[in-house]
Amino acid sequence: MQFWREFGQEKRESSRCSPGAFSIQSWQNINANSCKHCTVRTVGSGWKDWSKSDVIYGVIAPVLVVLLIVLISMLGSLLGGGFGIVRGITMEIQELVIIAAVPLLLGLVWNRWAGGASGFLLGSLYALYWAPIYDAYRGGGMILLGYVVSAMLIGYMAGALNRRSENFGRMLISGLVAATIGGVLLFGVLHLSSMNVVRGVDGFLLTVLTRTACGAIMSVIAKVFMWYGMTAQNVQKE
């Protein structure tokens, strides 16, 4: 009986600690000296371990993004007096980034709760930004509500459809479906307001197709984020 008990314990430990019990990625993190207790080795970088990619993605890329945002906001004054079409383009880009792109990205790379929560928060902040203007008119509250529910739906639906998949095809389909449905919902909610001016084919293209394009673009960006994250982990392990 003692033999069978020891044999069973050894078999359980070997199945628990064998490479077959883990994925390839997680098994590489197991320290060979402490495999008896399945202790996971933590991989970190020291204060001297700097690389070119750290400077590019940690300093240069964020600064360029901030400068690009500032440049977009100044296009009107830079082109002389602020043309109506320039102002319209910058406002549309700002709207897409805040209540479509960010919730969509978080939903694709994280999960549906992150996407939905970020959509609700950013949509609420965007609605608060426009509240002093829309509150002065009848029907403005419905437009503000559309901003919130559309952003929340896009982020949640993207995460629910993608389910943290790293397959680009699934990410692309999830992003396109979530962004398009969110745009259609916003277009419909806007029509419930008496002060809505976004109507007809032009309004549909401006509201829906821009979000569909945003879904495609953010799917590519999400895939790049995941690819770079996996590449960085592999470099650290080596």
Q: What is the CATH number of the domain that holds 110?
A: 1.10.1760
- Containing structural domain, residue 138: 85-237
Contacts of 193 (CB under 8 A, 6+ apart): 139, 140, 142, 143, 146
What are the start-end ranges of the H helices in 41-167?
A: 52-55, 61-73, 75-78, 84-96, 102-109, 112-134, 140-162
Query: Distance between CA atoms of 238 and 236, rounded to whole angstroms?
Result: 5
Residue that wins the pLDDT comparison between 189 and 15: 189
Assigned token pair, 116? 């939905």
Q: What is the pLDDT of residues 132-155, one digit of tens each?
A: 888 777 878 888 899 999 999 999
The answer to the question of residue 33 being in a domain is no
The answer to the question of residue 191 being in a domain is yes
The answer to the question of residue 49 being in a domain is no
- In which residue are the tokens 């437009």 written? 143
pLDDT band at 46 (very low <50, low <70, confident <90, very high): confident
Q: What is the pLDDT of residues 22-33, one digit of tens each?
A: 443 444 444 444
Query: Distance between CA atoms of 158 and 47, rounded to whole angstroms?
Result: 37
The answer to the question of residue 119 being in a domain is yes
Can you give the pLDDT at residue 220? 92
Residue that wins the pLDDT comparison between 54 and 10: 54
The answer to the question of residue 126 being in a domain is yes
Q: Which of 9-13, 42-46, 149-153 has the lowest mean pLDDT?
A: 9-13
Can you give the pLDDT at residue 102? 92
Q: What is the pLDDT of residues 177-236, one digit of tens each?
A: 999 999 999 998 888 887 777 788 888 888 899 999 999 999 999 998 888 765 444 444
The sign of the CA dihedral 59, 63, 66, 68 is negative
Q: How many domains are there within the chain?
A: 1
Can you give the pLDDT at residue 125? 92
Can you give the pLDDT at residue 33? 43
Query: Distance between CA atoms of 145 and 118, rounded to whole angstroms?
Result: 15
The answer to the question of residue 80 being in a domain is no
Specify burial of residue 130 (Cβ count, 10 A radius: 0-12, 13-18, 19+): middle
C-alpha 105: how far from chain center: 1
Q: Would you tell me the crossing angle of helices 210-237 and 102-109 to the nearest 10 degrees?
A: 40
The answer to the question of residue 91 being in a domain is yes
Q: Which of 2-6, 52-56, 112-116 has the lowest mean pLDDT?
A: 2-6
The answer to the question of residue 100 being in a domain is yes
Q: What is the pLDDT of residues 49-100, one digit of tens each?
A: 788 888 887 898 889 888 887 777 676 666 665 555 666 777 788 888 889 9
Q: What is the DSSP string of 184-202?
A: HHHHHHHTTSTT----HHH
pLDDT at 160 over 90: yes
Q: Measuring CA to CA, how many Å separate 212 from each of 125, 177, 206?
A: 22, 8, 10
